[in-house]
Amino acid sequence: MNFIISLSVLFAFVTVFSSLWILDDMTTFGIEDHPFFSSELTEKPLIFLIGSSHVSMLNATYMNNILSQQNLDYTVFNLSYDGDKPSIRIHNLQEIISLNPKLVIYGISYRDFNSQNPDKNALFNNVLPDPKSLINKILPTTKFDQINPKRLTFDVLTSLNPKLSSQESNLKIPNTPFISFGEHATMIFNNTQLLKHPKGNIPIYSIDSSDDNPEVKNLKKIIQELNDNDIPLIIFSTPLHQNYLKTIPDSAKQDFKIIVDDVRNDYSITYYDFSNTYSNLDIWADLGHISLNEKSLVFSDDILKIILERFYT
Amino acid sequence: MLFNTIDFVIFFIFVLSIIAIIKNRNFQHIFLLCVSYFFFYFSSNYLISLLIFSTILDFYIGKMIWKTTSKQKKKMLLIISLTGNLGLLGFFKYADFAIMQFNILGNYFDLTNNIPLLNLALPIGISFYTFQTISYTVDIYREKLTPSKSLREFALFVSFFPQLVAGPIVRASEFLPQLREKIDGISKLKQITIHSNNLKLGITIMAFGFLKKMFFADNIAPLVNHVFSDPVGLDSMSIMLGTLAFGIQIYGDFSGYSDMAIGAALILGFKLPINFNKPYFATSPSDFWRRWHISLSSWLRDYLYIPLGGNKKSESRTYLNIAVVMILGGLWHGASWNFVIWGMLHGAYLVIHKLISDRFPSLNNKLFFKSKIGTLICILITQYFVFLAWIPFRANNLDHTIYSMQKFILFDFQTNGFISLIFQQKFSVGLIILFIILHIVSYKKYNIVEHINKLRLRYWTMILIVILGAVVFSYEGNPEDFIYFRF
């Protein structure tokens, strides 16, 4: 009888997880499947901005206007999207390469390399060996590690009935195909308001700077792949609010620096550090995102300067 | 190790497989002890030394208390045990809190030098296992319990992995006898066998635990966080909805953990006491505490309230005892004033309820209170106050607590913010409604778990698929901690 009960439980597990797998395959289209990559783009040479939503706050329309005023015949596309990190970006790298951009500017941040399963009692690990890290090394990463079932369920439900969506993300910016913005993203909040509503700060616990961290490994693969295809790459660390920076442990900052120094030395990459540049200015929509507001264009201006410097020199 | 992770699933399947394959009693018990220690070590690393210290201390002190005939020596040994356990608990859980209060007081008297905080990590489960070991030595002292036959059995009682980190708080008198069986009149270590009845019922109970925790509690949490991240400015309806949501979240979280623990233990052939019995249908404050975290409230009754004199002394002393027990019960949850306020409120409810019951004993016999409508009114009034007390438990600071409690009590008849909150948090609101419906169904059908367990295997499997589907398809990809792990 125990065997039959165990079989029933196994059957239940297989049914549910295979449904999840099938549904994910049927409904989830990666960025690589986005019509942008198969559409006819401008004949002008392309500049791509890539990274997470931190990068999304760079206003591609504004940047293109300035470039045309400067008679620079390039078009900027902001190809950032929510939740991007090297292990996700690598899946659409070939599509990016196939469009043959003249420059790729990649915004990275602490969150990209944050430990997957933060150990809230990390203090303990310094004394005796940690079985968790051993198990993580032994167990292979599966497709299920990448799936967010709740988001999948919502995607299916909202595709059946759009009224179920609670998102107010309806603002689209030209040349920014993979992300839409809510009203919140265009507003500026002062320090007091940001303290009261601490949003946009994914907690950073610790960063593994070694190649055991799949994000580090994938970042290096991305750089290598772009190098192999002679596509110039500039990396910058995305700006963060001072209240967010204060919450990041020094050890994590140090490990992030090790990652950056490593890739700079190994691949001769140009790197700009914006993490602290605007940390105390009133230009923030939340603790991790500069506002998409005309008063916050300083970030877009500074990236523009990098582009101009690149092409004028 | 969290129950709601793939690590635990692999761990538990491994444990069950070994137990099922190797039948040697000695091996089974040693194996269960080793995996329990591994379970604890997995999340607590070197702090396992505290568990081992508490185990060794109380095992030998228990033996000595039993052997000695001198009352004074017995008392002395008991004090050593209490000092050891409460010392551990006090140092790791309350030292920084005490230092903070001392510094505040020092600042008040213009003392310039603050004592630096120790910033100690709170060892997981310490509040639970120290209470278990205390009950062991106290019961031996009271001659209600004979000491454990071996250190191995006692260690397994303290560290038994299903209930180790968040209860239920098991008494030695409930657990130790389960480690032995009589064969031909001789007491031997029990053969651990996985019976099909236990397996099926255990899985059903665990499935309901997962449903409560991962489907309800974790998915209602966003609404709670939304309301309590900054409640100032919200209307009464929003505060009430947030409070209702938190009441459901904490119930789902904690009773879900208890269900998983009870189910996992049952599969291994051990019975753990129930910890929750539909607390939101309690008809009075004292009824609530007979239904909520039963293992803690009965522990506080037996090892704190009764030693303080219980209701055997004067009337005023009884009320004082109730208040002291509830405040300490609140403080048990964490070194913070909000838990003290929560305990004080419940103490006040119990005292007022007892006062009314004592002054007007005829009320208890009124037919109205035994009728359906009377019961319903009693439930609603009791739960109004229970949920009011959840506000200090959850709010982030005293300002938020005061504002939220004001809005909860003084209704403002505003609805704008409430309607937009509902639209923003549709999924959480839907789950609250579903939870209430299921809760009412479970109240009417007394034991829904038993009912499902008795279904034919094919229907049982279908229900398992539905529960597992609900859990998996609403899972966000990162396991959420159990709230009671913090205590």
Report which of residues B4 and A79 the model is more confident about.
Answer: A79
pLDDT confidence of residue B482: 57
Asked if pLDDT for residue A168 goes beyond 80, the answer is no
pLDDT confidence of residue B359: 87
Instruction: State yes or no: is B333 an active-site residue.
Output: yes
Q: Does residue A148 sit at the B interface (CB-CB below 8 Å)?
A: yes
Minimal Cα distance from B453: which residue of A? A5
Convert the pLDDT of each residue in A273-289 to its tens digit.
999 999 989 899 888 89
Q: CB distance A124–B427 less than 8 Å?
A: no
Query: What is the dihedral angle through the alpha carbons of A261, A266, A270, A272, rounded to the nearest 10 degrees?
Result: -20
Mean pLDDT of all residues belonging to chain A: 83
Minimal Cα distance from B456: which residue of A? A5
pLDDT confidence of residue A77: 94
pLDDT confidence of residue B82: 94
Among candidate residues B384, B382, B370, the one with its CA nearest the CA of residue B283:
B382
Asked if pLDDT for residue A41 goes beyond 80, the answer is no
> CA A234 to CA A307: how far, in whole Å?
9
Asked if pLDDT for residue A175 goes beyond 60, the answer is yes
pLDDT confidence of residue B354: 92
User: For residue A153, which residues of chain B lie inside 8 Å, CB to CB?
Assistant: 473-474
The residues of B whose Cβ lies within 8 A of any Cβ of A are 7, 20, 38, 41-47, 121, 124, 194, 196, 199-200, 203, 219, 229-230, 423-427, 457, 460-461, 464-465, 468-469, 472-478, 481
Q: What phi and psi, each to the nearest 5 degrees, are found at residue A286?
A: -155, -170
Q: Number of A to B CB contacts under 8 A, please give it.
A: 91
Q: What angle do CA B279, B285, B287 make, to 5 degrees?
A: 55
Average pLDDT over residues A126-137: 70
pLDDT by position in tens, chain B (length 487) = 778 788 888 899 999 999 999 889 999 999 999 999 999 998 788 889 999 999 999 999 999 999 999 999 999 999 999 999 999 888 988 888 888 888 888 888 877 677 887 777 778 888 899 999 999 999 999 999 999 989 999 999 999 999 887 779 999 999 999 998 888 888 888 999 999 999 999 999 999 999 999 999 999 988 998 888 778 889 999 999 999 999 999 999 999 999 999 999 999 999 999 999 999 999 999 999 999 999 999 999 999 999 999 888 888 899 999 999 999 999 888 888 889 999 999 999 999 999 998 888 888 778 787 788 999 999 999 999 999 999 999 998 888 999 999 999 999 888 878 888 888 888 899 999 999 999 888 887 768 888 889 899 999 999 999 999 999 888 876 655 555 555 5
- pTM, full prediction: 0.78
| Residue B47 Cα distances to A78, B7, B43, B283, B481, angstroms | 49, 20, 9, 42, 19
Q: CB distance A149–B476 less than 8 Å?
A: yes
**Which one of A8, A120, A132 has the shortest CB-CB distance to B461?**
A8
Question: Measured in whole angstroms, how far is the alpha carbon of residue B95 from the centre of its chain?
Answer: 23
pLDDT confidence of residue B289: 95
Q: How many angstroms away from the CA of B121 is the closest CA of chain A?
A: 7
Q: CB distance B121–A132 less than 8 Å?
A: no
Report cis status (omega within 30 of 0) of the bond before B168: yes
Q: How many angstroms away from the CA of B18 is the closest CA of chain A?
A: 14
**Which one of B199, B425, B473 has the shortest CB-CB distance to A153?**
B473
User: For residue B194, which residues of chain A lie inside 8 Å, CB to CB?
Assistant: 2
B292: helix, strand or coil: coil
pLDDT confidence of residue A272: 95
Q: Does residue A17 sit at the B interface (CB-CB below 8 Å)?
A: yes
Asked if pLDDT for residue A17 goes beyond 60, the answer is yes
Q: Does residue A8 sit at the B interface (CB-CB below 8 Å)?
A: yes
Q: CB distance B464–A4 less than 8 Å?
A: no
Asked if pLDDT for residue A119 goes beyond 50, the answer is no
pLDDT confidence of residue B60: 95
Least confident window among A153-157, A224-228, B28-32: A153-157
Of B226, B333, B346, B400, the catalytic one is B333
- Complex ipTM value: 0.77
Q: CB distance B424–A166 less than 8 Å?
A: yes
Q: CB distance A12–B461 less than 8 Å?
A: yes
> CA B333 to CA B484: how far, in whole Å?
8
Q: Does residue A141 sit at the B interface (CB-CB below 8 Å)?
A: no
Strand order in the sheet with A103-108: A75-78, A46-51, A103-108, A233-237, A270-273
Among candidate residues A104, A185, A11, the one with its CA nearest the CA of residue B458:
A11
Residue to mutate among B10, B455, B458, B461, with most A CBs inside 10 A, is B461
pLDDT confidence of residue A123: 44
Q: How many angstroms away from the CA of B42 is the closest CA of chain A?
A: 6
Whether the CB-CB separation of B49 and B25 falls below 8 Å is answered with: no
Q: CB distance A124–B45 less than 8 Å?
A: yes
Least confident window among A49-53, A91-95, B342-346, B445-449: B445-449
**Which one of A5, A12, A148 has the shortest CB-CB distance to B468?**
A12
**Which one of B41, B121, B427 has the shortest CB-CB distance to A123?**
B121
Q: What angle do CA A103, A104, A106 make, to 5 degrees?
A: 150
Counting residues of chain A whose pLDDT is more than 90, the rounded percentage is 36
Q: CB distance B45–A132 less than 8 Å?
A: no
A27 conformational bin, left if phi > 0, alpha if psi -120 to 50, beta if neither: alpha
